[in-house]
Amino acid sequence: MAGPKSMSAHLRALDMYRKVPHDLTESSVIGGALSMFAYFLLSLLFIWELRSFLSVSYRTSIEVDHSEDGIFQVNFNLTIPGLSCEFAAVDLQNVIGKRRTDLKDRTVHKFSLDGTWQGLATGKQPNDEPHLYEGTNKDHYGNQRHAIELTIDNFQQGIDEYEVLLVDFHAPWCSHCQHLAPIFEHAAELVKEKAPKEIDNHHRHSAALATVDCTVKKNIPLCKANHIQAYPTLLVFRQSKNKNIEKYGMEIHEAYSGRREAEPISEFTIKVWQEVIAGDKELQIGAGTDSTGDGKADSVVRTRGCRLDGFLMAQRVPGKIIIHPRSQSHTFNTSLISTDHQIHHLSFGNRKASEIRQLLDSNKIDGAYAEPLGKPVILAEGEDQIGFVSPGGYTHEHYIKVVSTTLKPLRSKPVHAYEYTINSNAFESETGVPQIIISFDLSPLKVVVVEESKPWIEGIVSMCAILGGVFSASIIFEGVLSSAILTVAKKLD
């Protein structure tokens, strides 16, 4: 049986790390210089490889979208300076024949340009009931004139002579105006009977009703200055409040929105006059006058323009959101309606695509995110805003290609969002009423971005290979260099 010494001898015979005794080695200046360089290079490569091992890379792929959700969320925030909130409405339709003009979603809100909430943009609008035009003998009042007929020549004089003047801006061809005309004359007669003739030394009259024909050429600038977008529009001119609000570049007045009957119109006019005499408060946008005491205002103070903010739930099929003027009790003056607008935010889904983009911006991404292909338009947090302007009466359509994007982080749940590209065009409306159309089409493919890191074994093997290779190469290089120098020195001797 082999003893310990025999075993030790066998192990020594297998040693592949045999060493030369230290007394037999010789150091050199060249070896020292190369060793310093090798130490530096090894340290640099070690740090470089360690950073590469600890970093996260991204792999991008394109897959068929098998999302099981039947609907997805469309978020938007846009301002339309040329369309009053009174008439702004939102519809939703898709290619499989579903059009929702009576949206019940309480998720899209209307705001005036100063930020005052004006109501919902979906569903039935308040004060937009079909009017019955009852309570007046239309044959009797059809040929009578009790209301003051104003033109651009005497308009300012008219509102200066009255504490309160309710003005009907109308067009003779408008069916609603034709129904209202005899009722308005009847109401004007009632106001004459109820309102005092003189109240002070400055204003000769207390209250009256007046009309302006917006189809008369010289009156067109007058109607435009008062932003008459639909007929009939009944504006209240209070002597104490007829001042210009510079922020919007136009005068802000109350618009009567109550019942179109003689008694309610006359009672409203007298009520407003009483408020003026009593020292009415500063007009507040969105407020109005309740002449019947039922808690419902019969008028509202409005501004030009409207901001729509909210979201809609749409089916995952190509569809469109249509923003347009709508009213059951008015005929639109399309020449004074503009759908020029500015998009402050537009996104799809519950999570903003910008959140994924922020995670990827600091990295070079291949595939669907490669820079040569261009980044999709991201309108989020008001950072990027797009304005769209065209001649009056034009319809704006935005065609949006939506791509589902999934980011799969290493140590958290997958993040799902939507990115998109947008193309826009403006054209004359076929119906004559300008609109804003946001058409969207979901791609059947989705982008999947996966975070990846090197496995531990791969990192260790790679580091050993690099460091070992550099060390071996430095030994070989030192041997070759030392031999060359020794050979040259011998020849010189």
- 343-394 confidence digits (pLDDT tens): 888 888 875 545 555 555 544 333 333 232 233 333 333 344 566 666 667 8
Q: How far apart are CA 172 and CA 32, in angstroms?
A: 105
- DSSP bridge pairs for 420: 402
For residue 458, the SS3 value is helix
Q: How far apart are CA 95 and CA 440, in angstroms?
A: 11
Give the pTM: 0.72
At a CB cut-off of 8 Å and minimum separation 6, what does 393 contact?
334, 335, 337, 338, 428, 429, 432, 434
The DSSP code sequence of 11-43 is HHHH-SS----GGG----HHHHHHHHHHHHHHH
Residue 33: CA atoms inside 13 Å, Cβ hemisphere, count?
7
At a CB cut-off of 8 Å and minimum separation 6, what does 209 contact?
146, 147, 148, 165, 166, 167, 168, 184, 187, 188, 191, 265, 269
- Which pLDDT does position 100 carry in this prediction? 64
- Which pLDDT does position 378 carry in this prediction? 37
- Which pLDDT does position 457 carry in this prediction? 84
- Which pLDDT does position 152 carry in this prediction? 93
What's the token pair of residue 189? 């007669």
What's the token pair of residue 243? 């001042």
Q: How far apart are CA 198 and CA 348, in angstroms?
A: 61
Which residues of the chain fall short of a pLDDT of 70?
A: 1-4, 15-17, 23-24, 68, 99-105, 122-133, 139-140, 197-204, 240-251, 280-286, 351-392, 493
Q: How far apart are CA 172 and CA 148, in angstroms?
A: 16
- Which pLDDT does position 251 carry in this prediction? 55
What's the token pair of residue 304? 């030009």
- Which pLDDT does position 177 carry in this prediction? 92
pLDDT tens per residue across span 437-480? 999 998 888 888 888 887 888 878 888 888 888 888 887 887 78
